[in-house]
Structure 1
Amino acid sequence: MISQKSFTAGLLTLLTLGLVSTHFTLDYPLTRGFSEDDEPKFCGGFPTNATGRHPFPLSGPAPILINSHHSSAEVAIIIAFKSDPTTFADFNTSNKVTFLRPFGRIEGRGPLCFNIDINSLASQVPNITDGTLATLQVEYNGGDSPLFQCSDLILQKNYTTPSNVTCVNGTSSSSQNSIPNGASQPKAGANSSANALVNQNIIVSVMIFVAMCIALA
């Protein structure tokens, strides 16, 4: 027989594993892909154009939506203006990392939103024009190890972000200014599959543990 103490300890362990199984997702613009095992790799382990290229405003504030699964984390947003970036060096301009958002702390789990303006980089990257290809990479560290997600973009002068993808009191980002800590809840946006994945992992873990208890009883 398995004691009640052992049962409780095992159940808590499985629940904890399910809760930490995912760390963050990039929900807008659409990520190249999500793999829990590969998220510590460059661009989350996915190649260029894994989900195609997505239109993004060439200038003016535009939202970046993530879903955080840590209570706090350090987040930066960088960008490359190459057709097929394959290394972190491709995100450098004049030997400096091209930041849309320098590293800053966020607080709270769930959806978070940042407003960025690619046109703020005009002094560093003067050849940004309508139709420029770019890749955005979010760097996220919740305290265990750095994690990465990428989205491949085509910058468009007259593109307007969909009305259901907006920030309320979003954190503005510029390559030249320090960024206030924190971020805002998005009013609406692309729904992440990560929450469903976490819940599924918890349910499966509990079912496996209960089945083991019954088998060993």
Structure 2
Amino acid sequence: MKLIHALAGLAALPLLASAHFTLDYPYSRGFDEDLEPQFCGGFSTPSSGRTPFPLSGSAPVLIDSHHPSAIVGMFISFDSNPSNFSAFNQTASGQQYGLLDPFGGISGTGEFCFRVDIASLGVSGLTNGSVATLQVEFNGGDGSLFQCSDLVLVDNYSVPSNVTCQNATSSTSASSSAGASASGSTGAAGAKSTGSPSSGAGRILAGSAAATGLVAAVGALTLMI
């Protein structure tokens, strides 16, 4: 009986927690909570209709967090159909660039808004009508989750007036839940850089190793019953 209780405890480990996040603006390719640990949240095909997004200048990215705290970072690819993480740090011609928004911590559940500027990356050859894919990585302590949004970059574009960007203390143009805060100051809700992230492959492998360890532990206990 004790072993059965132990198995039940393992099933409740944070690795299997159901909390997640959504990408609310620009609009996500799609959402499936069970697939969020996968590249682009499990949606591998670009959207048929891309969201217009400013080619240059400050623009909002809105997420809704269902974790009490998390680390968030944002990548962007200028391929028409990026299929791996390496497409999110260099162009097809080989020009390398950094994160669209550095990794940093947020605290509180609800909506958070980050301000990004695609032109700040210094990527050459981007013009009115260029396509891009934004990928958000979110880690609430139980592994990385991902969401993608497909964009068309538009010169002098203004986001819709109903897309607002504010937190508990200031407002600049995503509605944040009361008491939600961020540790840092790059982005309207803030995202303090915590250094360079590991490669996408490393993140996926780390999650897989943890899952494998849990399965092995459950299997060992099962044999003991």
In structure 1, distance between residues paired with 2:111 and 2:20 = 12
Identity %: 57
Contact 2:73 2:136 in 1 (8 A): yes
Partner amino acid, structure 2, of 1:142: G
Q: Which residue of 1 aligns with 2:195?
A: none
**Aligned-CA RMSD value:** 2.7
CA drift of 1:183 comes to 5.4
Decide which of 17, 31, 36 is 1:34's aligned counterpart: 31
In structure 2, distance between residues paired with 1:182 and 1:63 = 8
Contact 1:114 1:170 in 2 (8 A): no
Partner amino acid, structure 2, of 1:110: G
In structure 2, distance between residues paired with 1:74 and 1:32 = 21
Q: Which residue of 1 aligns with 2:46?
A: 49
Distance 1:96 1:74, change over 3 A: farther
Q: Which residue of 2 aligns with 1:155?
A: 153
* Secondary structure at 1:32 match in 2: coil
Q: Residues 118-160 of structure 1, C-alpha deviation per residue, up to 9 Å, x if partnerless? A: 11112xx111111111000000000000000000000000321
Q: Which residue of 1 aligns with 2:185?
A: 180
In structure 1, distance between residues paired with 2:85 and 2:106 = 23
Decide which of 74, 79, 100 is 2:71's aligned counterpart: 74
Bigger strand fraction: 1
Contact 2:165 2:171 in 1 (8 A): yes
CA drift of 1:181 comes to 7.2
CA drift of 1:95 comes to 7.6
Contact 1:38 1:44 in 2 (8 A): yes
Distance 1:71 1:181, change over 3 A: farther
CA drift of 1:51 comes to 5.5
Q: Residues 149-184 of structure 1, C-alpha deviation per residue, up to 9 Å, x if partnerless? A: 00000000032100110212479xxxxxxx637853
In structure 2, distance between residues paired with 1:41 and 1:24 = 13
Q: Residues 59-117 of structure 1, C-alpha deviation per residue, up to 9 Å, x if partnerless? A: 11111000001111110011000000000011112585631111111111000000111
Aligned pairs (5 A) from 1:1-217: 20-50=17-47, 52-93=49-90, 98-122=98-122, 125-168=123-166, 169=170, 180=185, 184=189
Gaps of at least 5 residues in structure 1 are 1-12, 172-178, 186-217
User: How high is the TM-score relative to the length of structure 1?
Assistant: 0.67
In structure 2, distance between residues paired with 1:98 and 1:52 = 26
Contact 1:107 1:182 in 2 (8 A): no
In structure 2, distance between residues paired with 1:74 and 1:140 = 6
